[in-house]
Structure 1
Amino acid sequence: MHKFIKSLLFIATTFSVVEPGLASAADKLETAPTQFIEANGVKFSYRALGPNTGTPLVFLQHFTGTMDAWDPAVVNAFAKTRPVVVFNNRGVGATDGVVADNVAQMTTDAYAFIQALGYKKVDLLGFSLGGFVAQELAAQHPELIHKVILAGTTHQGGGNNLMKVLNEAFSRANAPDPRDYLFFSQSDAGKKAGAEFLSRVYARTKDRDPESGKEIADAHGKALIIWTSTPDPEYKTLTAIQQPVLVVTGNNDTMLDTAGSITLYKHIKNAQLVLYPDSNHGSIFQYHDSFVNTANYFLNH
């Protein structure tokens, strides 16, 4: 994590294959086999968990994140009652191709991946950069997207503090993984939650995704900065979203300002908002039990 994010600061300043579209018997992200499916000229890597019935919940990942950057406490909890799919988009992790440097291409690829799995209707959980893709998918493909969870994200033109918080994260001495600072508050409770999160995300020891490098960091950074810096004064994307949406964030998101989530709530027709106290960009990981319970109620009703 340290290496690939640091590369962005400098610039800006074998797997098992099973039948596509079928959830595996795995119930843990830490042990779920990596599967592959081809779509849109890309061989996507993904993992499927949970039962074979129900509306699948597809996870859309953050800046430079791979499948192994997801919190098992969140993924596994959802997989107890519904099909769950995590995947690497173009050029990330074990997925081939050149990594996309814009949200439009990421959206096109995500749509192709979901279609290749054969799903007619899915729910989405978009975290951070993945939330941008989730918004575009919901606006462009209402026939496919049923409900949407937008976590730690913002709207187009909502601004970002990416470079500022990354510099702050790396200015600290003895900081092996910047996510303890980027995702969590620095209170005693936040620091404790951050340490617990990192122990969970490193629990998988076999067949882990390769870490993202400079190419991915540069491309994702470009996509994130351009999308959040491009004004959409009429909120065309947000007003096009007719599906039920759950917006979740921390009370002090330092990377994608909490105010952006409030704007999502205000301009999406059928939106609910959850703000967690004493929390930063990764509030869904700090309050994972509460988040999953709230999200499951939202998805089921």
Structure 2
Amino acid sequence: MRLRLTLFLAVAVLPAGCGGTGPEPFRADVHVERVAGTTIAWYERGEGAPLVLLTGTGSTMAEWDPALLRLLARHHRLILLDYPGIGLSGRWKADSFDSLSDVVAGLMKAIGVGEADVLGWSMGGFVAQRLAVDYPGLVSHLVLAGTNPGGSRTVLGSAKAQAIDSEPNPTVSEILSLLYPPGHRAEGRRFLGRLEQASQSGEIPDDFRVPDTTVRGQVAAEDPWLRSNRNYRQLAGIGVPTLAAAGAEDPVVPPANLERIADRIPGAKLAVFPGAHAFLFQSRRSFAHAVDEFLRVDR
């Protein structure tokens, strides 16, 4: 799931100021914590119970759709971070999703968050699953979006999607073909415009450093994830409320993956939204509403 959306893409396809709504008064204040022998950059916005957002392969904390963040921040204290070796975080070789979950757990401890809701998208869903398995006391609710359970239970995307996903430098059109279904590519370009505007206004960090070496390391970590059934077996031990969310037309992670996750985690709920891999951006209002309602469970 190698989806890299950097700011230069937005600049390349839209003139400054195009697309999206006007800038919000919120300005991201990035903090840096020492965790696991490196530095982890993070910021927060909103008020309420903490909700940790974990993004996908080759992505920084600046690449969440600002429009989705505005919706989620109405009811939650969002905590966004850069994985080691990417964005504004320090160097570090993460060779597994277990090690990345260790980093997330360490950051939570460093900033005084004893328990949080966790939302993992794409590769971030791998990290979120490991966090829920290895640090059950840190996770109060789990939202897994556009991700897979690992091992033989994984349903791979289309051959075309896999080919694009393996490209070192995919074009804007190729990236948007994975994130948005046919007929909705204009929405994808508006998303890129929102990223540009939010970066210029300071609503999101100017944080788009994506070293190839880090991306290669993240991609390499997917190989053992897909070869082993360990994670899938351990999903049965997750004891927190879980929402598995899928894009109905996701060519990268077909909805069957989320169905299998929902079947494996006791009591998990499944929700399918219109859209492709970026369904949570395209269907952001219905997705944010579903997350809000789900996270009210037991509160």
Provide the TM-score with structure 2 as the length reference. Answer: 0.83
The CA RMSD measured in Å over matched residues stands at 2.5
Distance 1:296 1:258 in 2: 21
- Aligned: 1:241 with 2:238: yes
Distance 1:124 1:182 in 2: 24
TM-superposed deviation, 1:231: 2.7
Equivalent of 2:45 in 45, 49, 62 = 49
Once the two structures are overlaid, the 10-residue window that deviates more, 177-186 or 265-274, is: 177-186
User: What amino acid maps onto 2:237 in structure 1?
Assistant: A
Match of 2:219 in 1: 221
TM-superposed deviation, 1:255: 1.3
Q: Taking structure 1 as reference, are residues 28 and 42 closer, same or farther at Cα in structure 2, changes over 3 Å only?
A: farther
Once the two structures are overlaid, the 10-residue window that deviates more, 199-208 or 83-92, is: 199-208
- Aligned: 1:276 with 2:273: yes
User: What amino acid maps onto 1:65 in structure 2?
Assistant: S
Whether the 8 Å contact between 2:157 and 2:252 is mirrored in structure 1 is yes
Partner secondary structure for residue 56 of structure 1: strand
Match of 1:65 in 2: 59
TM-superposed deviation, 1:261: 0.7
Match of 1:180 in 2: 176
Q: Taking structure 1 as reference, are residues 120 and 193 closer, same or farther at Cα in structure 2, changes over 3 Å only?
A: same
- Aligned: 1:134 with 2:128: yes
Whether the 8 Å contact between 1:147 and 1:299 is mirrored in structure 2 is yes
Whether the 8 Å contact between 1:159 and 1:229 is mirrored in structure 2 is no
Match of 2:17 in 1: none
Match of 1:257 in 2: 254
Structure 1: state its 5+ residue gaps.
4-26
Equivalent of 2:76 in 79, 82, 86 = 82
Cα deviation digits, residues 17-45 of structure 1 (max 9, x gap): xxxxxxxxxx9697312111112222110
Match of 1:153 in 2: 147
Partner secondary structure for residue 91 of structure 1: coil
Structure 2: state its 5+ residue gaps.
7-22
Aligned length: 270
Whether the 8 Å contact between 2:50 and 2:79 is mirrored in structure 1 is yes
Whether the 8 Å contact between 1:160 and 1:228 is mirrored in structure 2 is no
Whether the 8 Å contact between 2:164 and 2:175 is mirrored in structure 1 is no
User: What amino acid maps onto 1:293 in structure 2?
Assistant: H
